Structure 1
Amino acid sequence: MNEASESGQSVQGMQPAAWAPPEPGGLRAGFIGAGRLARALSLALQAAGVPVVRAASRSDASARALAASLPDCRADDADAVARDCDLVFLTSPDALIAGIARSVSWRADQAVVHCSGATPVAALQPAAEAGALIGGFHPMQAFGADPGAALASLPGCTVAIEAEPPLDALLHDLALRLGCVGLSLPPGARVRYHASGGYASQHVHALLAEAVRLWQSWGATERQALDALLPLLRGTVESLARSGVAAGMPGPVSRGDAGTVRLHRQALQAVDPEMRDLYDRLCRRGVALARQAGRLDAAGAAGVEQVLDAPPDP
């Protein structure tokens, strides 16, 4: 895919950089959108010495709840946030970002930043045309409904930053103050970056759902399945951290155990042929990883692939 087509448009050349942002402690920050990310990020910014003074949302109750959790913050409409804040975070649903950017009255002496992982920064072009600095600031983390737990999950996560100078330096400073790792994301990489997060979060849920279905096939409950599988998952994550993706992979494919793979396929085919098909696809990826790590020789790989190539047992 062409880099420009994936991102929609580079921010290069869109930002006049007529305004030099003050130090983070001298900023007045505001939020348009008051969901889980906004609640966690606003609390973190306040704790890091960046005052959050305005909040707006489609839901007045959500805006009031966010404002009530912060000193000197007031719930208001989106135009008031833009009028009174030096740094505005758009934390609304992705589909609303471009519309908000078009409808709000921006000004030259401010920065407008969205927190979407996949939306191009060019969606904020109306703010850039009004003279504002624009950028992206996306924490790669899943935020739960509990604001305290969401806040605790923020330190240590990576924040993808996409902005031109001087805003990029300010956003990296903010990430550092939040205890996060700032990542400069080049134009065109945003959607691929965001899709990568799905494999480490959303798709893990889908894979565990398949595992739970297997437990339920003999009458076990989801809770019983998760109690057994989550310690395994935690151990897997620890192995990944220590050894990396390829070298740390466990299981029969990494050992070239074609017999166990055959038995797995038979059992899964009996439960659901689509489940067996997904297993086959994942095993083929696993063969490549095991070969990459030097844990599986050509003969072992061929043995596993021969089993995967065979028609499933009826």
Structure 2
Amino acid sequence: MAERVVVIGRGRLGTRVARAVSAQLVGGRDHSLEVVRAAGVIVIAVPDPAIESVAERIAPVLDPSHVVLHCAGSRGRDVLASCAARGASTGVMHPLVAIASEESVLADRTFVIDGDERAIDAASRIARACEARVVIAPLHGPAYHAAAALVANGSTALAALGVSILERLGVPSGDAARAIGGLLASVAQNVASVGVPRALTGPIARGDAQTVARHREALAEIDRVTLAAYDAVAPSILEVATRAGLDGRAQRAIRRALGRRGLSGPRGAS
């Protein structure tokens, strides 16, 4: 980027973004205000509860030439109000990426961006430098972030249960993690390429109640915690299968195989 960029926050995301745009990386607490003053674009990549206090700390050295972005999906532009009051352009730039390390891939992922015109432009240029896609929409807040957390954190929790079962069946830990990771990658590819509900596969999608019943019997013997997770997620799987065209008879058979635990059928059907 032609403008000088400063990234505040030395965490995984801040480090990754700074590397992509050749930005100066400073700590969330130990940064120099003169460094901020000299920048054109300031990216605040600190934990969500700290964003507003960092914004208030840098606000006195800002003017209308500056653009300030934060990277939190759960918060809107309002946490940058102190910067906006100084005339700075403000916006949000949230990467829909599960960043577990500094090597996590940003290319071909999606940055969800909102803000005023200059902030959107700056955030879009940063996203392009990361080789990411851009969605411009005022989505940031608890509901949007809950959707992201449900998928990213929920899939990791389910993967941990899957790895544990494979380990109990004798698969070495590393092999189990790679196998489940590959399975998750195939699911992600299907969601991206054919969308939902078409991406759904497996016995519930096929209406194979016998296999579902055998799953539950096996898990009851091996790990009842995993059985509880299986039963908890089954209504959502059945809902997607119904959207994909699973007929009523098959739906009823699946619900019987699941013991009707909390299931009244998709959209309240009996």
- What residue number does 1:120 align with? 76
Partner of 2:106: 154
Identity over aligned residues, as a percent? 26
Distance change (3 Å), C-alpha of 1:285 and 1:219: same
Please give the TM-score of this superposition, normalised by the length of structure 2: 0.85
Which ranges of 4 or more aligned residues in structure 1 deviate by more than 6 Å? Answer: none
State how far apart, in whole Å, the 1-side matches of 2:151 and 2:26 are: 31
1:216 aligns with 2:192: no
What corresponds to 2:47 in structure 1? 93
Q: Residue 228 of structure 1: CA displacement?
A: 3.5
Shift of the 78–162 alpha-carbon distance from structure 1 to 2, 3 Å rule, reads farther
Superposed CA offset, 1:135-155 (max 9, x none): 111222233434xx34xx222
CA contact (8 A) 2:111 2:133 kept: yes
Output the CA distance in 1 between the equivalents of 2:170 and 2:130. Answer: 46
Shift, 1:30, TM fit: 1.0
Q: Name the CA distance, whole Å, in 2 between partners of 1:137 and 1:242.
A: 25
Segments of 5+ residues of structure 2 without an aligned counterpart are 262-270
What CA deviation, in whole Å up to 9, does each residue of 1:186-225 have, x standing for no partner? 15x4332222222332222110111122223344432232
Change (3 A) 1:135 1:207: same
Q: Aligned partners of 2:25, 2:177: CA distance in 1, in Å?
A: 38
2:30 pairs with 1:80: no
Cα deviation, residue 34, structure 1: 1.8
- How much has 1:59 moved relative to structure 2? 7.3
- Is 1:55 the counterpart of 2:25? The answer is yes
The separation in 1 between residues aligned to 2:225 and 2:47, in whole angstroms, is 33
Given the alignment of the two structures, is residue 165 of structure 1 paired with residue 98 of structure 2, yes or no? no
Deviation at 1:226, TM superposition (A): 2.4
Q: Give the whole-Å Cα distance in 1 for the aligned partners of 2:45 and 2:188.
A: 29
Q: 2:232 matched to which residue of 1?
A: 281
Q: How many residues align?
A: 259
226-235 vs 117-126, greater mean Cα deviation: 226-235
Contact 1:32 / 1:78 at 8 angstroms: preserved in 2?
Answer: no
Name the CA distance, whole Å, in 2 between partners of 1:287 and 1:58.
45
2:20 to 7, 32, 44: 44
What is the match of residue 248 of structure 2?
Answer: 298
Matches within 5 A, 1:154-303: 154-186=106-138, 189-294=140-245, 296-303=246-253
* CA spacing shift, 1:30–1:285, aligned 2, 3 Å: same
Between 197-206 and 258-267, report the one with greater CA deviation.
197-206
User: SS at the partner of 1:250?
Assistant: coil
Contact 1:106 1:132 in 2 (8 A): no
SS at match of 2:54: helix
Point out the more displaced range, 157-166 or 173-182.
173-182
Could you tell me which amino acid in structure 1 is paired with residue 41 of structure 2?
Answer: L
> Contact (CA 8 Å) 1:57, 1:78: kept in 2 or not?
no
Q: 2:62 aligns with which of 98, 107, 114?
A: 107
CA distance in 1, matches of 2:127, 2:163: 37
Provide, for residues 123-169 of structure 1, a one-character-per-residue CA deviation record: whole Å limited to 9, x for no partner.
111111122111111222233434xx34xx22221111110223323
Residue aligned with 2:101, SS: coil
* Cα pair distance change 1:238/1:82, threshold 3 Å: closer
Q: Flag structure 1 segments of 5+ consecutive residues without an equivalent.
A: 1-23, 47-51, 61-76
Deviation string 1:59-109 (CA, Å, 9 cap, x unpaired) is: 76xxxxxxxxxxxxxxxx241232211211111122211111122223222
* Normalised TM-score (structure 1): 0.74
RMSD, aligned α-carbons: 2.3
Pair 1:173–1:293, CA change in 2 (3 A): same
Deviation string, structure 1 residues 249-285 (Cα, Å, up to 9, x no partner): 1111111111111111122223343322221122221
Give the letter for the 2:188 counterpart: V
